[in-house]
Structure 1
């Protein structure tokens, strides 16, 4: 079978190449998927460039891509939830990365049956961004009906899903975006849209219940300027906090360094009697099934910027790298249903 792989660390043109690989048999608790579509994400580019080598150095060549939608081809021992022919989607675990391929073995616990009303391309656009925002806003922040939530970068892959999810849970949604996307994100459900090219959100906002920090750097610190006393800041781009480090199983020595690095942010949180958590998304088939129901009931809608054919996968990564995509960039690997 054919798969796109990272052959060396570097830029897109020098690092990515198609390879012919053997099709693996699923082991215990695993499922072999015929992939119909894969979505790509900024984290894929970070891994390709070597930005995360300090966390995990790859034994190259390796696959690329973490989102898929496809069809069950065979199941390993101990798998009873899925049968051959089932249409499924997933954000695969880090041990099974490589969704830009014709087939892939994945952990069955990371799968969910795809929404029947979505194509494979639409379904592939959901898992990573959907689970990330679900775990940040619902699981960690505990977003409630009527609360005010600030979501930065509303037109991106994460933001476009987060706006819809927050509205589905009854929140008052505020988002930031550029002038070109103001009306577009308002149609996604945002109650208040701040054009960062013309307005300073710090001068307009206060008393926010939840800040969803998708940008990091100064935005993480600025979150506490608009947050109300006792509010919550959940970040996917800021500094790792000690509790999240402990839950990830990071050793005690690194946790000490993390505590030192996160000190300034934790101090700001203490001054506001606020929660600060860095959310690192974990694959979760049960949560994905909850999201699937929201898409099935048309409470949420997939947001796709562009779909590329499999043979143009490298061009898809180049487009993602422009950082101008409105929604997700998807690769169509096979026929959709």
Structure 2
């Protein structure tokens, strides 16, 4: 089988395609034939610069290693002790640093769940990481509820688009920031209001917000504290919370991590299956080295609306 590997960090040219044997499962393992994978910020950053300094030792990759987070696929083999899955199951989940591969080997206990077989596996390849990050920032840590006013920065991106939908499903009044070109898309996702971050100052347009979900970096986060009502919350996925500022204003700030339990994953799969959560596919790329390089370059160029997906041949 083909597998993409890194032996050093740097430009897209450090990625190499190698041939290895299809893995065989131990008693408690499953083998998944990969259908599609998402192109995600952690893969770009790790490929370019190596592991994040804040990564826990137990998940910090060591060269040589692959890349890849979320995936969809079909189970082709299971170990003798596996009870949660059967051969032929369609699944989605998380495979840290091992999804850039035609087959994925995981423990049965991994955060993986079955999906109805009638669902298209291509968009589901980019489902987990964006939804997990959005779920953590909006629902688990953000505690979005019916009747609240929620401001989501970066509402058209791979994570932001899920955050808008999750907040709306929770019954919140949703305000989303993005470009003018993304306004209609964010409204289609469920945003009640949109703000053009390029020409409008959100601090002059919103106030008394119950929750701010920050997906766009430290500068936006620093400007967001002032629009949150006392007792409100702010979550951030890519910039650290200023604890002194949140304490001074009487608000709760949480640096939110992109993970889900198996039960949470099943919950959002149900939303997706019922048409209440969508994954917009921006562009697809075949699982070939030059195409993977181009996917990384396109992602790095910015202005991402929806997900870039790498698709494996059947």
Q: Which of the five TM-score ranges fits, normalised by the shorter chain? A: over 0.9
Structure 1 portions without partners, runs of 5+: 240-261
> Which residue of the partner structure matches residue 302 of structure 2?
323
Residue 198 of structure 1 aligns to a residue whose secondary structure is coil
Give 1 or 2: higher helix fraction. 1
Deviation at 1:82, TM superposition (A): 0.1
1:9-53: CA deviation from partner (whole Å, max 9, x where unpaired) = 10112x111111222223353211110111110110111112535
Query: Could you tell me how far apart the structure 1 residues matched to 2:25 and 2:259 are?
Result: 21
* Residue 81 (1) aligns with residue 84 (2): yes
> Which residue of the partner structure matches residue 265 of structure 2?
288
Query: Could you tell me how far apart the structure 2 residues matched to 1:117 and 1:300 are?
Result: 16
* Residue 101 (1) aligns with residue 101 (2): yes
Query: Could you tell me how far apart the structure 2 residues matched to 1:122 and 1:267 are?
Result: 41
> Which residue of the partner structure matches residue 70 of structure 2?
67
Deviation at 1:58, TM superposition (A): 3.6
Query: Could you tell me how far apart the structure 1 residues matched to 2:26 and 2:234 are?
Result: 40
Give the RMSD, CA atoms, in angstroms: 1.6
Structure 2 portions without partners, runs of 5+: none
Residues 125 and 303, structure 1, Cα contact 8 Å, conserved in 2: no
Query: Could you tell me how far apart the structure 2 residues matched to 1:9 and 1:297 are?
Result: 41
Query: Could you tell me how far apart the structure 1 residues matched to 2:210 and 2:108 are?
Result: 36
Equivalence map 1:304-315=2 (5 Å): 304-311=281-288, 312-315=291-294
What TM-score comes out, normalization by structure 2 length?
0.93
Residues 91 and 283, structure 1, Cα contact 8 Å, conserved in 2: no
Deviation at 1:196, TM superposition (A): 1.2
- Quickly say closer, same or farther: Cα 1:29–1:139, change in 2 above 3 A: farther
1:265-310: CA deviation from partner (whole Å, max 9, x where unpaired) = 1111112221111111225322111111001111111111001111
Deviation at 1:117, TM superposition (A): 4.5
What TM-score comes out, normalization by structure 1 length?
0.87
Equivalence map 1:163-312=2 (5 Å): 163-239=164-240, 265-311=242-288, 312=291
Query: Could you tell me how far apart the structure 1 residues matched to 2:176 and 2:116 are?
Result: 27
Residues 122 and 309, structure 2, Cα contact 8 Å, conserved in 1: yes
Query: Could you tell me how far apart the structure 1 residues matched to 2:74 and 2:61 are?
Result: 28
Deviation at 1:211, TM superposition (A): 0.5
Runs of 4+ in structure 1 off by over 6 angstroms are none
- Quickly say closer, same or farther: Cα 1:51–1:101, change in 2 above 3 A: closer
Which fold has the larger relative contact order, with Cα–Cα distance below 8 Å and residues 6 or more apart in sequence? Answer: 1
Residues 72 and 84, structure 1, Cα contact 8 Å, conserved in 2: yes
Deviation at 1:77, TM superposition (A): 4.6
Deviation at 1:153, TM superposition (A): 0.9
- Quickly say closer, same or farther: Cα 1:295–1:115, change in 2 above 3 A: farther
